[in-house]
Structure 1
Amino acid sequence: MNTPHHVVLLAGPSGSGKSYLARRTGLPVLCLDDFYKDGDDPSLPRRDGLVDWDSPQSWDAEAAVATIARLARDGKAEVPVYAIGADRRVATRPFDVTGSPLFVAEGIFAAEIVEECRRRGVLAGAYALRRPRGATFLRRLARDLAEQRKAPRVLVRRGLALLRDEPAVLRRQAGLGAHPLGAGELLRRVADLLAGHLWRS
């Protein structure tokens, strides 16, 4: 598939700073968290009677890939707006990448679609942001409390579980094709990708 735009997929553990780093690239940024399934979707995975929002099955990979492919081909698409506190999509918004040969799609499940994006010919690169675990835990907890995503007790319990699982998360993402990198090296890789695309154009 010969497309005018290509995607850089940015994965990494929850709270590792993916959104912040994606913005630092200077590229258009698609938030993949907006492709979570609605809270009443019967296909949502459950653990101990509660929805397991940390499972890839809680996320609509097919819709995310279709939107990325549309952006790569047309340069613009309508994307969902997801309210995490309400556990559902509440609106859509226009997203435009026509001024850039690359755009970033970031989210904890970005690695799940590496192979499909590669198969469709829209992938420029795929990375997993690697940060010290303690810093990630504190950043995630501060963000979730500030945004009132869930009750504080739930957020602390989830944060400790994610802290424990973080090495396994990065191993899985690497196995799916997202190369683990620190922040500085990741920014350099994306800058090199952009320079190469601009040179070819």
Structure 2
Amino acid sequence: MTESSVGVVLLAGPSGSGKSYIARRTGLPVLCLDEFYKEGDDPTLPRTNGAIDWESPDAWDASAAVQTIAQLVRDGKAEVPVYAIGADRRVATRILDLAGSPLFIAEGIFAAEIVSECQRAGLLAGAYALRRPRGATFLRRLIRDLAERRKPPGLLLRRGLALLRAEPRVLRRQTSLGCRPARGGEFVRQIVARIPKTDPRP
């Protein structure tokens, strides 16, 4: 994959691995891809044993995410949804303005699903999958989800244990789709090094 300093850097990784925090550390504008989940009453949502499978890429609107990325690359700003996970629906929209930055981060657990499409469209500046110790990811995710009251505590614990077991498989899939595995600090260093330097001279 040819990397450039113009376009979107996709950051995937398991749920709770710290993608949002790491993306913000680069200092670049950040598009949260979790805002593109489908609404809870969408008939196309995948189900397992009658329950919605929110871990499936089919629970997510990849087309809308790519369209928004394309608009950001083309126009430098776009209207993006605000999704309430506890309510399983979009509750508002907001304007994301890149403020002249030619490079931005789009992070989310399904970021790897759109690597090929972004590359074909000439939008891609890089793609990474965030790695960290599984136990740390489990604890971080559980603390976050309990603090945000995303779902009932029992459900969050069961979900967290299931995600802990699935994490190696998730990372294998993300790398197979074109994401480069990286630790948080490694990702930040590589991306910051690619940010175009402004000329301080008047």
The whole-number CA distance in structure 2 between the counterparts of 1:99 and 1:127 is: 23
TM-score, normalised relative to structure 1: 0.94
| Per-residue Cα deviation, 1:26-81 (whole angstroms, up to 9, x for no partner) | 00000000000000000000011100000000000000000000000000110000
List, as ranges, runs of 4+ consecutive aligned residues in structure 1 with deviation greater than 2 Å.
none
Q: Is the 1:5–1:73 contact (alpha carbons within 8 Å) kept by the matching residues of 2?
A: no
Gaps of 5+ in 1: none
Match of 1:185 in 2: 186
The 5-angstrom pairing of residues 13-162 of structure 1 reads 13-162=14-163
Q: How many percent identity over aligned positions?
A: 72
Structure 1 residue 192 displacement after superposition: 2.5
Q: Is the 2:6–2:125 contact (alpha carbons within 8 Å) kept by the matching residues of 1?
A: no
User: What number of residue pairs does the alignment pair up?
Assistant: 195
Gaps of 5+ in 2: none
TM-score, normalised relative to structure 2: 0.94
Aligned letter for 1:147?
E
Structure 1 residue 5 displacement after superposition: 4.6
Structure 1 residue 198 displacement after superposition: 6.6
Instruction: Output the aligned Cα RMSD.
Output: 1.4
Q: Secondary structure of 1:77's partner?
A: strand
Cα distance change on mapping 1:129 and 1:198 into 2, 3 Å: farther
The whole-number CA distance in structure 1 between the counterparts of 2:79 and 2:6 is: 16
